[in-house]
Chain A
Amino acid sequence: MDESLLRTLTPQVIGILVRRGADFAAAEDAVQDGLLDALRVWPDDPPRDPKGWLVTVAWRRFLDSRRAADARREREQAVDAEPAPDQVGDVDDTLQLYFLCAHPSLTPASAVALTLRAVGGLTTGQIAEAYLVPEATMAQRISRAKRTIADVRLDLPGDLATVLRVLYLVFNEGYSGEVDLAAEAIRLTRQLAQLSDDPEVHGLLALMVLHHARRSARMTADGQLVPLAEQDRRRWDTAAIAEGVALLQGALARDQVGEYQAQAAIAALHADARTAGETDWVQIAEWYDELVALTDNPIVRLNRAVAIGQADGPRAGLAAIVELDPALPRYAAVAAHLHEHDGDLTGAARLYAQAADRATSQAERTHLQRQAARLGALDRKDQ
């Protein structure tokens, strides 16, 4: 069955239930119940009108839960079981749900979980599996998030920057499981790009599509990281690259550059080089200058030093990291890379070993240990 249809319908149906008078938290629970019903029933008995089916089932689920709650309160309120038919129009509240689920009062992890469930239409079990926590923990994380935003109105404009941040996190820090979170982040950003013409939304979509295009070349079959310079560029998805570049050009033409457009521009310049040697590092360094101006992020400055090292030589790159804090993540790895290119193999080997000790992922650590071993062996041969 087509689960992506069900996922697209999820925020629309939540919106319909809210318009019929359900509060967001109850509507969201009811649609999740309807979603689980659909996953069970649809494969054998696909509905002619999937949206109508989900509205009906979720509304029934909502009424059941409200009746149960009312019974507990000794029926203090009567239930109006039938909604007025004209209230189910063609209004799509999906955009409002993006804003609500990424509300600035939520922690990033809560916003990610809630967005994946209410906007993404994933089940609690799928989200829990993707983030490697028990389902009960994830269910509670989502419930708490819903309590945090209980008083937020759905019809007010929200903060697009936090929405983009949440989608970026899903794409960039997603684990893997039954659901491909990177693909899901792209789907959600693509859907958002149809609802908002903000150039940063399109910039973020371009960034994701461009990175996704290189995915199959980023790791070997046994999970080893392959650095950009050594990737087999024939394995890059050229159609996706073309799409990413077109999206980026459309965004940049609006002349309101932002951090996602700048990051996408860097990704596009890498994607544009047929060999690592043809990379336009001068332009990449310029985009890093732009990104530093936009974000003033020390990690961006560190990446800028790599670009400067390629554009103007390793000495220039080393000069650019002097002012940075050596405690920054990946500082030692960048320093090692620059020292190696400067011909200081002993220093580079030592720095790679240091970088391996400080790596935050297993794949990165193994990669850095291999670099240290490679230079150590070269160094011993020289002596």
Chain B
Amino acid sequence: MAKYLLLKHYRGAPRSVNDAPMDQWTPDEVTAHVQYMNDLADCLTSSGEYVDSQALAPDGLWVRHDGKGRPPVTDGPFVETKDLIAGWMVIDVEDQERAIEVAGELSAAPGKDGQPIHEWLELRPFLSMPPTVTE
């Protein structure tokens, strides 16, 4: 088994097919979208593949160390051009082929007019533990 991260972007991903931002959806469309995501998580739990999912608020800051004894420097809010992560799902699946299949389903979540968003998701494998037998 291998763990994969499915990364959703607010900004920075290639344009999706059904590209209308969420604030132009009806409340029912938002509900249907959230329901789809929850159902998919349930479905992946039953298939023994679900690990975790989280959503992130769009606003955030850059933070960095600014030398010993000094408070960290912050910069923000993020500029409009920044690649912005909206959230993620982590799955534990047999192989990359299956990870792509799950990402495809997640990308089909309904958006405006109840139509699939066809959102681009970033699929990233986790680094794992090294195997015991190497020679």
Per-residue CB proximity of A339-383 to B under 8 Å, as 1/0?
A: 000000000000000000001111111000000000000000000
User: Any chain A CB within 8 A of the CB of B80?
Assistant: no
Q: In the assembly, what is the distance between CA of A221 and CA of B1, in Å?
A: 27
Select one of B48, B127, B133 contacting A137, CB under 8 A. Answer: B48
Number of interface residues of B (CB under 8 A): 22
Q: In the assembly, what is the distance between CA of A107 and CA of B98, in Å?
A: 13
The reply to whether B132 and A211 contact each other, CB–CB distance below 8 Å, is yes
The reply to whether B135 and A140 contact each other, CB–CB distance below 8 Å, is no
The residue on B at minimum CB distance from A136 is B45
User: Any chain B CB within 8 A of the CB of A225?
Assistant: yes
The reply to whether A361 and B130 contact each other, CB–CB distance below 8 Å, is yes
Q: In the assembly, what is the distance between CA of A113 and CA of B1, in Å?
A: 11
Main DSSP-derived SS at the A contact region: helix
Select one of A132, A142, A359 contacting B3, CB under 8 A. Answer: A132
Q: In the assembly, what is the distance between CA of A217 and CA of B74, in Å?
A: 43
Per-residue CB proximity of A131-161 to B under 8 Å, as 1/0?
A: 1111011101110100000000000000000
User: Any chain B CB within 8 A of the CB of A171?
Assistant: yes
Instruction: Please give, as numbers and ranges, the residues of chain A lying within 8 Å of B129 by CB-CB distance.
Output: 173-176, 361, 363
User: Any chain B CB within 8 A of the CB of A105?
Assistant: no
User: Any chain A CB within 8 A of the CB of B131?
Assistant: yes
A84 to chain B, nearest CB (A): 37
Interface range on chain A (Cβ under 8 Å from partner)? 35 or more
Q: In the assembly, what is the distance between CA of A110 and CA of B94, in Å?
A: 10
Q: In the assembly, what is the distance between CA of A270 and CA of B133, in Å?
A: 12
The reply to whether B135 and A137 contact each other, CB–CB distance below 8 Å, is no
Q: In the assembly, what is the distance between CA of A132 and CA of B1, in Å?
A: 11
The reply to whether A134 and B51 contact each other, CB–CB distance below 8 Å, is yes
The residue on B at minimum CB distance from A182 is B132
- A-B residue pair count with CB separations less than 8 angstroms: 84
User: Any chain A CB within 8 A of the CB of B54?
Assistant: no
Instruction: Please give, as numbers and ranges, the residues of chain B lying within 8 Å of A360 by CB-CB distance.
Output: 125, 127-128
Instruction: Please give, as numbers and ranges, the residues of chain A lying within 8 Å of B133 by CB-CB distance.
Output: 171-172, 207, 211, 263, 267
A119 to chain B, nearest CB (A): 18
User: Any chain B CB within 8 A of the CB of A266?
Assistant: yes
Main DSSP-derived SS at the B contact region: loop
Q: In the assembly, what is the distance between CA of A110 and CA of B92, in Å?
A: 12
B49 to chain A, nearest CB (A): 7
User: Any chain A CB within 8 A of the CB of B24?
Assistant: no
User: Any chain A CB within 8 A of the CB of B81?
Assistant: no
A360 to chain B, nearest CB (A): 6
The reply to whether A134 and B45 contact each other, CB–CB distance below 8 Å, is yes
User: 8 Å CB contacts to B: which residues of A241-284?
Assistant: 263, 266-267, 270
Q: In the assembly, what is the distance between CA of A266 and CA of B128, in Å?
A: 25
User: Any chain B CB within 8 A of the CB of A303?
Assistant: yes
Q: Given contacts A109-B94, A263-B133, are A138 and B48 in contact (CB under 8 A)?
A: yes
Contacts A267-B133, A267-B135, A361-B127 given; 15 further ones with Cβ under 8 A?
Answer: A109-B92, A110-B48, A133-B50, A133-B51, A134-B45, A136-B45, A140-B45, A140-B47, A144-B46, A173-B129, A174-B132, A270-B135, A303-B135, A363-B130, A365-B127
Residues on B close to A: CB < 8 A?
1, 3, 44-52, 92, 94, 125, 127-133, 135
**What would 30 A/B residue contacts be, using CB atoms closer than 8 Å?**
A108-B1, A109-B48, A109-B92, A109-B94, A131-B1, A131-B92, A133-B92, A134-B51, A137-B45, A137-B49, A140-B45, A140-B46, A144-B46, A171-B133, A172-B131, A174-B129, A174-B132, A182-B132, A207-B133, A211-B132, A225-B130, A263-B133, A266-B135, A267-B135, A270-B135, A303-B135, A306-B135, A360-B127, A362-B127, A363-B129
Residues on A close to B: CB < 8 A?
107-110, 113, 131-134, 136-138, 140-142, 144, 171-176, 182, 207, 211, 215, 218, 225, 228, 263, 266-267, 270, 303, 306, 359-365
